[in-house]
Amino acid sequence: MSKFWSDIVHKLTPYVPGEQPKLDNLVKLNTNENPYGPSPKVLAAVKLEAADTLRLYPDPNSDTLKAAIAEVHDLNVNQVFVGNGSDEVLAHTFQALLKHDKPLLFPDITYSFYPVYCGLYDIEYKTIPLADDFTINIDDYEQPNGGIIFPNPNAPTGIPLALGHIEKLLEKNTQSVVVIDEAYVDFGTESAVSLINRYPNLLVTHTLSKARSLAGLRVGYALGSADLIEALMRIKDSFNSYPIDRFASAGAIAAMQDSVYFEKTCNKVIETREALIKSLRTLGFDILPSGANFIFAKHQVVDGAELTLKLREKSIIVRHFKSPSRISPYLRITVGTDEQSHALVEVLKALL
Ligand SMILES: Cc1ncc(COP(=O)(O)O)c(C=O)c1O
């Protein structure tokens, strides 16, 4: 606390990201990173950027990157917005499209950055409880609102919502923006991108941090009607003209273009996830359905906080959320390599 701070700083409750421990030999399954490195084509492209041209600013509009993204999703370039990680894209979205007189709606259990952005931008919000089985019931969102946002698959549950439900929501909710945060969509969840040309109030956000193995490069994007994208551009150009640096641009373009590597690594993560679910079930875990690169698992006897600590003593790091109490028995476990899964299962066998 300081008398030098602006008023709003006193009131903020900042987001706390998952730990990035500076220790070697950890089995790090706490922040949903991809266990496989980025495509070799990405590394080659980034290396090429270490050149004299670094003295020049990058393209403020990231036109080449936007074109590569538009091509993957079969959209026009003016339907693409890019930012420094999808967190930045989401922040601009909250400010540009979700601050209205009526409250923004999102689930009570969801990505915990959403209420933080509401605090930062003074946005009124209302949380909608997930059903008892942790699913999103779209009928619950049929009420006056200044916008709706949720991840699909949801985080930290990992549960996917079928595209038909999202379309039903869009049919009923035409007067405010619906944002589907598809950070984990490539691990087996249906994407809503195919609905963009029919619903001008739909914005879909993606990240290169997960399926494209580039959490360290910080690139995310939003897809939607040209009208929604223009609002995001107006915020971005009032905030930071160059959010995508030359390395990020080169690496992200190469990543978007390497669909073979992308599909191979996503399929491998899905395969490992299914094998891990099977093994954990035999050890007495209940596991929610996952369309993500992580699982949400509760042991039938041992508490989530206790298991997290015990795993940590064995150098395995998973994520535990103390609140709300409904999810405190659960561990959120990132799907790693087969070797990491094996290490986790062996340690759990010994612990339990
Ligand atoms: C649901 C969800 N959305 C968005 C993000 C942000 O990802 P990034 O800023 O790395 O693109 C995350 C990160 O974990 C997430 O879990």
pLDDT for residue 21: 84
Ligand 1 mutation pick, 82, 110, 111, 214, max ligand atoms within 8 A of CB:
111
**CATH numbers and ranges of domains, the chain:** 7-37+262-351 (3.90.1150.10), 40-259 (3.40.640.10)
Residue 319 DSSP label: B
Q: pLDDT value at position 347?
A: 97
pLDDT of residue 20: 84
Nearest CA to ligand 1 atom 7: 86
Ligand 1 centroid – CA 252 distance (Å): 16
Rounded distance from Cα 85 to ligand 1 centre (Å): 8
- Give dist(CA 139, CA 102) in Å, integer: 18
Taking the CA of residue 87 as reference, the ligand 1 atom at the shortest distance is: 9
Q: Are 161 and 136 in contact (CB under 8 A)?
A: yes
Alpha-carbon distance of 306 to 341, in angstroms, equals 20
pLDDT in the model for residue 297: 98
Mean pLDDT by 10 residues, the chain (352 residues): 92 88 88 97 98 98 98 98 98 98 98 97 98 98 98 98 98 98 98 98 98 98 98 98 98 98 98 98 98 98 95 95 92 98 97 92
Q: Tell how far the Cα of 265 is from the centroid of ligand 1, in angstroms.
A: 19
Q: Given ligand 1 and candidates 209, 212, 321, which is best to mutate, with the most ligand atoms within 8 Å of its CB?
A: 209
87 lines ligand 1 (CB under 6 A): yes
Rg (CA), the chain: 20
155 CB within 6 A, ligand 1: yes
Is-contact 253 65, C-beta < 8 A? yes
C-beta atoms surrounding 156 within 10 Å: 25
pLDDT of residue 323: 87
Question: Is 0.95 topped by the overall pTM?
Answer: yes
The residue type at 117: Y
Would you state the pLDDT for residue 243? 98
**Within a 10 A sphere around the Cβ of 57, how many other Cβ atoms?**
10
Is the Cβ atom of 84 under 6 angstroms away from ligand 1?
A: no
**What is the reported pLDDT for 22?**
81
Q: Is 153 in the pocket of ligand 1 (CB under 6 A)?
A: no
